[in-house]
Structure 1
Amino acid sequence: MEAGAAQEPLHIVVRYDDQNRRGVLLVEAPTGNTVWERLKQSASVIGSDARITELAIELSWPSVLDILRDYGTRDQQRAYNFRFKPDADAQARIQDFAAARRKVQEAQGSLTLTVTEEEVRSRLRALGFKRDLKWFQVRDIRHLLSIQNGANFSVPGAGKTTVAFALHLLTSQPGAHVLVVCPKAAFPAWSEIVNDTMDANGPDTEAFQVLSGTSHAIETMLTGGGRRFVINYDLLIQHPGIIGAYLARQPVHLILDESHRMKAGEASQRGALLLNLAPLPIRRDVLSGTPMPQSPSDLVSQLNFLWPGQGLGLEISRGTPPREVLGSLYVRTTKEELGLPARYTHFHQVGMGQGQLALYSLVRSESLRQLSNIRSGAIDFAGARKSVMRLLQLSSNPLLALRAITSDITGINSGLVDQVVEDGPSPKMLAVAAKARELAQHGRKSVIWTIFTDTIEQMLLMLADLNPVALYGAVPSGDASDPETREGRLRRFHLDDDCMVMIANPAAAGEGISLHTVCHEALYLDRSYVSTHFLQSIDRIHRLGLDPNEITNVHIFQTRAPQGLGCIDHSVSRRLATKVRAMQQLLDDRDLHQIALDEENAEEPVDYDVDLQDIVDLVEELEGRAHFDEDEGG
């Protein structure tokens, strides 16, 4: 080679490993080209499961697509003097990726709908679909048909299950399957959707099969000739090999219901598995009424699942507003579009009992010590979470929180403990019970929400005269004729005129149930910082099917804390307002705006008649350390 001649570009082979569903970047020999080190560094950052050697970089295929997107332009390859050389299989997948990228970029701007309303309705009728779709459902179907993969962020009650099933019918090719991943609470909706929407004498009446049992049982069902399956998130991660092989050999439409459950992405088993499986299905759809319950980062993994390698999640991670990133890549039906009657929110502030106030003060001081290093980043998250949960329970139910507190915090005087025991149920619990009885006297059933199981058990005893039922995580699913099952308890609440109260945990009962035909009053004894639990629990009683003249009330009970002490209930309210406001800005939903506004405008639960010195005196009194100074009079 003559002096000064251009150096030959480095060839980096790109392969797709079909058996492991991973990508590999290869060089023939050690190289001094700096791009190879750059690719290694990028791989170690992008892929938590990257395998890097001197001559090879092995990653999940979505991670390879991320690298190709960042380094694969002509300018990048020219600048670093290298060329990507995909083999035939990888080349076909990269071409599909490039085509999808063009469609995503188009949909981030304006979207051209490809079918008319009449075409949607007539094609569904021809397939045996008998349900008369609402105008907003047809609109959402038309929109989703016009994009390769889609997100349905409609409110609960808007018929996301119906829309997703209709979409599958319209996009399905001969021999194609559909697999729905969802919480167990959503099983009944998917199990019944075919019977509810398809003509019994029509050409297609195959119901969804619920995948359960051992690996062998699941594989037998998947290969048994059926085309429609449902599996829950927990079982999915127990059988990744079987599900992955199924998606690889079979054209499958993969639907994630309550898709915010994968928001942790690579940091969770379910998120990491779903991101790895993402390139395999022929179509992907996600359904969630609360797609970003905590922050915009919750959207990252969902977008990376829908459009692997497109970098949409990365844009959000870099601070681009979610609405700008999503553009027209999603649909949402709002409560305003459903035509629901108004919902009214009422805040009830309740003072503390003597023992509760003294104990709350001590635990608050302990929590401040526990959380004091948060600004420096040196924080024990497990300990911090325990402190927060302890304050939340003390705000509502100090009696049942007492045992855990006395075992964790030393130096609590027996006099203070005796006072808490003597006080009995907190003023807030008594206020909630009184409100439930008042409503019952007017013939109105209520649902009481609390995040603590032991509080549910105590409220059951306190409201025994109202014949309550309870729903929480330990209540098993089963036949509606069994009064001890989830379904049996729901049936009793709906049909038994003497059963006036349901006491429930929003984490366990905030999804998959409808109470709006018999219950129009929600009472919040306490709330967590998770906006999904709050929003979805509201939607149990405020959803499509309400009588236009029905009044729906949401009662939020807050413990009023003395000035200077700080109030955990107020902190929860502020954070929920922030999270709901962020979701409102993404989804342009006036109902979310109203929920955030209610929180923002609520009166602060601060008792200005009691100050910190009063509390110090109270603690000393209950601990037997107080003394009377005669010089102060008396």
Structure 2
Amino acid sequence: MRIKIGILGDNESFVITPIDFNVTDIRGIKVYLKNLNGGHVDNDKIIIPIVNVDVLDLYHKTVELFEGRFKCHIEKDADAGSLLGNAVNEEERFRAFSAKAYAIRNNNIDSSELTAFLDCVKQDSFIRTLKPFQILSAYHLAFSHNACNFSVPGAGKTSTVLAAYAYLASCNEIEKLLVVGPLASFLAWKKEYFYCFGTAPKVLEIMGNTPDKRIEKELMRSSIDLDLILVSYGSVSRQLDKLLFFLRNNRTMVVLDEAHRIKNVEDGVQSNATLQLSPFARSRAVLTGTPAPNSYVDLFNLYKFIWPSHNIIGFSVPQLANMSKREGDPRISELISRISPFYIRIRKSDLGLPEPWFLPPKSVQMSPIQDRIYDAISRMAVGRLEDGVSSPTNRLSAIIRLRQAASNPALLNRGLDDYYDGLDESVPRVALDSNLNVSDEIMDLIRTYKETEIPSKFIEAGELAKRVIAEGGKLVIWCEFVGTCDDLSDYLSKSGVENRILYGKTDYLDRERIINEFTDKEKPSAFNVVIANPHAVGESISLHVTCHNALYLEQSFNAGTYMQSKDRIHRVGLLQSDITRYYYIHSANTIDGVVFERVNTKEKRMLELIESQDIPLIANNQDFLEDNEDDIKAIIRGYYEYRSKHI
């Protein structure tokens, strides 16, 4: 069988014409073609799109299919031969380009070129002083035009991107900046733009409630007077046509902030819509501190975004999944080698931050009613964890109830429906069991708890807040449960401690006002305490400018969320004289101590992994998330240790 490969249109597709057979003679051809960039049969010819893909890679896959599997003899017409010849030359240039990008990444830089870069950035009114590692990251992005920054939270990734943007804009290579990110990131971009350029940006914010007419008016005019366009991930698919029109008509750098949100390779609406922006960007940056938390598959869309015309990854999704399951797979070193020229990763140890102070947990005795309630809930919870028949959902529900009883028994009056409020959408939702299975007497104590007693942890938190404020400081209090945020806020307000809440229910504009007022160094704030939920605001916000104290009133077993929340006040920008303090309040002889020990053990292992590996695979090395079997064993062990001492 013989086929001829030609080119259709203006280098839009390969067109494969059978010479001595019919396409329908090949069984299952349509299935195989889907893996060739969505190839399809059209009137006894085969069409394989080649726009914005690695042409050579796609050609080799096509040859492998038809020559290898179907035993076809392949001929090329003149147009195909010319296109592939140009592709070979381009690939050689790209390899040289990649080699230099890799050298820059490893700090092998021509000093004269770096000086020229810095001079150019300053000429464009960039006024912020960058740390050496930020200069390296900015220069790497400016040279490569398309790169990932996998640095830890708090490394100043936003300023790095703005420096690269300033350079490319001064060279007239780009003229606009568009950032796709979570809503929580919008304020950070606006503030960093001001810090870097000395003026507030003219900004368009595209989110769920932004009127379509305004978006159309701003993006589809002939002359666009905007410095910064901020788009929420959820809005990309809804406004895709307008965004594509804008990108086609404006030389734009597109940035994905918290880019792990597009890791879904299985028909994720959010991921697919965002990837469609890529071919029309002049420069691309991907920012995330967790590039591959679960699998090397998580890297696939990130590199597909930054280089849509080159197959940087070099492995298929199934291959990446297989590699992730096999520690020491020799293909992993090849993968890291392929992606290394186009990512920068600054570790926590590279930041040179002053060491924080971790105060020993303050253990407080529960008041009498809370003590009785906790005893009953602990019996119920441990019974479920030990019985061997309770479902995972019932076990999770029991652990949540135990944590609530140790902190704020009034929460036991609520169902568990709001447990997922503010959690990332990637967290699987299950129907939790709100049934407490305690006596009527204990239920009466729970129903009337809010009117009869104040949790001891609230009282201690109030005292700490007053001390911090008296010393001229500010305090962020981290609470896992939405109900605790509300109840603690009421208690502190009645105790004379003005405060504000940041959680999933906080309106976007209110959130901005709260953060702006709390972090303003020039104007006194009406409040010096913020109560925050780490699942809702644990990423993308910075509080370190004015706040150096954090209290953990509640914790979960999730080490990743804990580490993210700590970085809100311990990040680039701190003076060496700044002292960052972390406080902990535990109810004595409860699950609080177990959670604290477990999450710190996980954090230690997680830090070792993050600091030692280029692309750490979190899930393969340790279950750092919630309520794994070791956590459950620790809860049961802690329960019996306490009971053995108090019989």
TM tier, shorter chain?
0.7 to 0.9
**CA offset at residue 569 of structure 1?**
5.6
Q: Which residue of 2 aligns with 1:286?
A: 286
Q: Which residue of 2 aligns with 1:3?
A: none
Matched length: 576
Tell me, yes or no, if structure 1 residue 505 matches structure 2 residue 533: yes
Q: Which residue of 2 aligns with 1:628?
A: none
**CA offset at residue 69 of structure 1?**
4.9
Q: Which residue of 1 aligns with 2:312?
A: 310
Tell me, yes or no, if structure 1 residue 461 matches structure 2 residue 490: yes
Q: Unaligned 5+ residue runs, structure 1?
A: 1-6, 375-379, 590-595, 597-601, 619-634
Q: 1:561 to 1:312 in 2, by over 3 A?
A: farther
Q: 1:556 to 1:580 in 2, by over 3 A?
A: farther
Q: Distance in 2 between matches of 1:613 and 1:126?
A: 66
- Shifted more, 190-199 versus 457-466: the winner is 190-199
8 Å contact from structure 1 (residues 181, 257) kept in 2: yes
Q: Which residue of 2 aligns with 1:401?
A: 412
Q: 1:391 to 1:407 in 2, by over 3 A?
A: same
Tell me, yes or no, if structure 1 residue 39 matches structure 2 residue 32: yes
Q: Distance in 2 between matches of 1:334 and 1:175?
A: 30
Q: 1:307 to 1:583 in 2, by over 3 A?
A: farther
Q: Secondary structure at the match of 1:545?
A: coil
Q: 1:410 to 1:554 in 2, by over 3 A?
A: closer
8 Å contact from structure 2 (residues 295, 320) kept in 1: no
The residue type paired with residue 409 of structure 2 is P
Deviations 1:390-420 (A, max 9, x none): 5554553332133326973274321232344
Q: Which residue of 2 aligns with 1:450?
A: 479
Q: 1:501 to 1:327 in 2, by over 3 A?
A: same
Q: Distance in 2 between matches of 1:92 and 1:178?
A: 35
Q: 1:141 to 1:39 in 2, by over 3 A?
A: same
Q: 1:370 to 1:525 in 2, by over 3 A?
A: farther
In structure 1, which of residues 327, 345, 359 is the aligned counterpart of residue 340 of structure 2?
327
In structure 1, which of residues 197, 201, 210 is the aligned counterpart of residue 205 of structure 2?
210
Q: 1:537 to 1:609 in 2, by over 3 A?
A: closer
8 Å contact from structure 1 (residues 347, 558) kept in 2: no
In structure 2, which of residues 336, 355, 362 is the aligned counterpart of residue 342 of structure 1?
355
8 Å contact from structure 1 (residues 475, 486) kept in 2: no
Please show how residues 180-579 of structure 1 align to structure 2 within 5 Å. 180-192=179-191, 195-198=194-197, 207-211=202-206, 213-224=210-221, 225-226=223-224, 228=227, 229-266=229-266, 268-292=268-292, 297-308=297-308, 309-311=311-313, 314=317, 316-317=320-321, 318-319=323-324, 320=332, 326-346=339-359, 348=361, 350=363, 353-363=371-381, 365-366=383-384, 390=401, 392-404=403-415, 408-409=434-435, 411-420=437-446, 422=449, 424=453, 426=455, 428-429=457-458, 431-440=460-469, 442-464=471-493, 465=495, 466-478=497-509, 485-487=513-515, 490=518, 496=524, 499-528=527-556, 533-557=561-585, 572-579=599-606
Q: Secondary structure at the match of 1:181?
A: strand
8 Å contact from structure 2 (residues 556, 595) kept in 1: no
Q: Which residue of 1 aligns with 2:328?
A: none
Q: Distance in 1 between matches of 2:45 and 2:439?
A: 65
Q: 1:97 to 1:30 in 2, by over 3 A?
A: same
8 Å contact from structure 1 (residues 151, 287) kept in 2: yes
The residue type paired with residue 102 of structure 1 is R
**CA offset at residue 541 of structure 1?**
1.6
8 Å contact from structure 2 (residues 377, 401) kept in 1: no
**CA offset at residue 57 of structure 1?**
8.4
Q: Distance in 2 between matches of 1:500 and 1:206?
A: 28
Q: Which residue of 2 aligns with 1:629?
A: none
- Shifted more, 136-145 versus 155-164: the winner is 155-164
Q: Distance in 2 between matches of 1:428 and 1:399?
A: 13
8 Å contact from structure 1 (residues 107, 329) kept in 2: no
The residue type paired with residue 136 of structure 2 is R
Q: Secondary structure at the match of 1:311?
A: coil
Q: Which residue of 2 aligns with 1:72?
A: 61
**CA offset at residue 511 of structure 1?**
3.9
Q: Distance in 2 between matches of 1:457 and 1:210?
A: 29
- Shifted more, 143-152 versus 325-334: the winner is 325-334
**CA offset at residue 503 of structure 1?**
0.9
Q: 1:544 to 1:41 in 2, by over 3 A?
A: closer
Q: Which residue of 2 aligns with 1:593?
A: none
CA RMSD, Structure 1 to Structure 2 (Å): 5.0
Q: Distance in 2 between matches of 1:42 and 1:372?
A: 44
**CA offset at residue 238 of structure 1?**
1.9
Deviations 1:285-338 (A, max 9, x none): 012344445665544432332234433674653223785564242223445444
Please show how residues 575-590 of structure 1 align to structure 2 within 5 Å. 575-586=602-613
Q: Secondary structure at the match of 1:146?
A: helix
Deviations 1:103-122 (A, max 9, x none): 68647965564663211122
Q: Distance in 2 between matches of 1:84 and 1:525?
A: 71
8 Å contact from structure 1 (residues 470, 489) kept in 2: no
**Identity over aligned pairs, percent:** 23
Q: Secondary structure at the match of 1:399?
A: helix
8 Å contact from structure 2 (residues 52, 279) kept in 1: no
8 Å contact from structure 2 (residues 468, 475) kept in 1: yes
Q: 1:159 to 1:177 in 2, by over 3 A?
A: same
Q: Secondary structure at the match of 1:129?
A: coil
**CA offset at residue 552 of structure 1?**
1.3
Q: Distance in 1 between matches of 2:532 and 2:231?
A: 25
**CA offset at residue 607 of structure 1?**
9.1
Q: Distance in 2 between matches of 1:511 and 1:301?
A: 21
Q: TM-score, normalised by structure 2?
A: 0.72
Q: 1:122 to 1:439 in 2, by over 3 A?
A: closer
Q: Which residue of 2 aligns with 1:178?
A: 177
Q: Distance in 2 between matches of 1:255 and 1:327?
A: 19
**CA offset at residue 241 of structure 1?**
2.2
8 Å contact from structure 1 (residues 399, 425) kept in 2: no
Q: 1:532 to 1:217 in 2, by over 3 A?
A: farther
8 Å contact from structure 1 (residues 155, 289) kept in 2: yes
The residue type paired with residue 276 of structure 1 is Q
Q: Secondary structure at the match of 2:280?
A: coil
Deviations 1:340-378 (A, max 9, x none): 21113345275773312321442454467899677xxxx
Q: Secondary structure at the match of 2:139?
A: helix
**CA offset at residue 457 of structure 1?**
0.8
Q: Secondary structure at the match of 1:470?
A: strand
Q: Unaligned 5+ residue runs, structure 2?
A: 325-331, 417-431, 617-623, 625-630
The residue type paired with residue 205 of structure 2 is V
**CA offset at residue 257 of structure 1?**
1.9
The residue type paired with residue 435 of structure 2 is I
The residue type paired with residue 122 of structure 1 is D
Q: TM-score, normalised by structure 1?
A: 0.73
